[in-house]
Structure 1
């Protein structure tokens, strides 16, 4: 090929090379300058609950760290579907973040025949930010003081004990409990943790599988008893309460987690910056102590670790949900 032809080809390619170079530079600048405007953090629950407390604790520290407001936007309802669908459609620039519950990605695909989002294709993982064990509780209206008491009463009177729950994870906890103990309890669904508490205090349900935080005032008053937690280890928020595994249900484990995600397509450099800053926030002593009061244990994983957790738990729970016949329309 002659020198003249080489020069002509180089001249033709120059604009495309310049465009590609400018795109790379722009991406680098967008990551290094991020954020240059307010960031929206979408939480799929109403204000006041543990997920909201967690989101606001992180948002406040990131606002200080970034010198930009991180605005919490509560979008509760439909088992987190409303918020997830909105975030999935948002611009992939890092300025819309999402704090899903584990069930958003791991349980909903098996529960809904028509899911308005794809948990893998529509989101970019950033980090699992906190975990929490659930707790099996009983009211002071019952004689139940141990797990063994509940199991004995349930076997003596199948279907005679009502249990309350407000999320798929808490219902699944009850289903696993019945399967492992060979008992039959009557499931009573509620719209939220506060409604479960009302049912417990009114006597409509005798036991429940619920989050720790909303029950703590009633544990202290004695109105509700904590019988066992669902995690592999005792919760630091309830160190004197045994796990269900310790109480005789070998291998029993249900742990809920909250995470941080962005719309799919968000630049990896932006994802990495958010991850570094969030993990640093989660390691702070004041943040750990603030969230522990709500039964939340801070975590802080890499995006890859979060992806692996989603895949592992989806594989674990999807067949069980199908076997139990759990379905939501």
Structure 2
């Protein structure tokens, strides 16, 4: 019996020793298959467009294909919950914004994920400034004129939204300007934009990337940006504050997240490659032409940023007078 026990012990020890290099080899091999990037917005949105540019270079750097999966709906909650429950192996990532990770906890009653506990921060990729656009038939070329027009037509003007930034921006504008606007929500920005262009909706707050081509083409008129100061991406547009709406400062940010529990070495590898891409002057310039201010940082910095943004958006939603739905 002693001989049998000794043999078994030796076999276990041998298997353990053999497994260690094998596990190390598996970790070092990451990634060895396609990586899926889940987005909470539809194709054609600002996040979708910028992600396709970054993901192409990320796939080249990692030597695998990047699969983009758009899961629009429920203000991004469908996509967020899906990634939160995915295997934490680095093969399912979430490319998202303040919609799911800053605003939703204060906009939605039955949130099916936790923006902090359910995710591992990977890398921030930049900001997507928003701007106020109106249909060309609206007799207002400035924010002041739009406010006057809205006051002369209470309850008759509408605003579309395709994200939390748009929801909060619209409600903040109405509250601070003292005007009565009807909110019309959409699953994402592209269909909302189509209805503004078609004249069925009066106005909307949209990311510069989605709205600028239509502004340049004359299908929409841009009145202001939502950031505290003018954006270098559209320097001719005044800020909402500059245009007469006090204390207006709303910015949409973008970042990559993995499911909680993803190995730190996997997160570190992804962070390294994403930062190289975002900080590359050529890529940064290309993203700027699309309306994105690209920059990055460490996973720890993104985690701290998310914590701070949750505090900020709780205040923004409260001050906008929005109740949880």
Contact kept in structure 2, 1:110 and 1:321, CA below 8 Å: yes
Measured after TM superposition, the shift of residue 174 of structure 1 is 1.1
Alignment match, 1:233 = 229
CA deviation map 1:175-230 (0-9, x unaligned): 11122222222222233323323322333322221122232232123231111001
Whole-Å Cα distance in 2 between the matches of residues 22 and 314 of structure 1? Answer: 46
Measured after TM superposition, the shift of residue 30 of structure 1 is 4.7
SS in 1 for 2:205: strand
Whole-Å Cα distance in 1 between the matches of residues 255 and 19 of structure 2? Answer: 30
Alignment match, 2:177 = 181
Aligned residue among 269, 272, 280 for 2:265: 269
1:89 aligns with 2:85: yes
The 1:159/1:180 distance shift into structure 2, 3 A limit, reads same
Aligned residue among 85, 104, 108 for 2:104: 108
CA deviation map 1:263-315 (0-9, x unaligned): 11111121111111100001123322332232111121211221122111211
RMSD of aligned alpha carbons: 2.8
SS in 2 for 1:107: helix
Whole-Å Cα distance in 1 between the matches of residues 190 and 69 of structure 2? Answer: 21
* Runs (4+) off by over 6 Å: 14-27
Whole-Å Cα distance in 2 between the matches of residues 22 and 110 of structure 1? Answer: 50
Aligned residue among 310, 316, 322 for 1:314: 310
SS in 2 for 1:141: coil
Whole-Å Cα distance in 2 between the matches of residues 177 and 207 of structure 1? Answer: 12
The 1:243/1:263 distance shift into structure 2, 3 A limit, reads same
The 1:16/1:234 distance shift into structure 2, 3 A limit, reads farther
Contact kept in structure 2, 1:158 and 1:184, CA below 8 Å: yes
Aligned residue among 148, 151, 156 for 2:147: 151
* TM-score scaled by length of structure 2: 0.87
Alignment match, 2:4 = none
The 1:153/1:284 distance shift into structure 2, 3 A limit, reads same
Measured after TM superposition, the shift of residue 135 of structure 1 is 0.7
Whole-Å Cα distance in 2 between the matches of residues 249 and 138 of structure 1? Answer: 17
1:305 aligns with 2:301: yes
Measured after TM superposition, the shift of residue 24 of structure 1 is 7.9
* TM-score scaled by length of structure 1: 0.86
Which moves more between the two structures, 141-150 or 22-31?
22-31
The 1:228/1:124 distance shift into structure 2, 3 A limit, reads same
1:195 aligns with 2:216: no
Which moves more between the two structures, 198-207 or 294-303?
198-207
Alignment match, 1:8 = none
1:124 aligns with 2:91: no
Whole-Å Cα distance in 1 between the matches of residues 122 and 69 of structure 2? Answer: 18
Measured after TM superposition, the shift of residue 232 of structure 1 is 2.8
The 1:321/1:274 distance shift into structure 2, 3 A limit, reads same
Which moves more between the two structures, 273-282 or 136-145?
136-145
The 1:161/1:270 distance shift into structure 2, 3 A limit, reads same
Which moves more between the two structures, 194-203 or 75-84?
194-203
Alignment match, 2:37 = 41
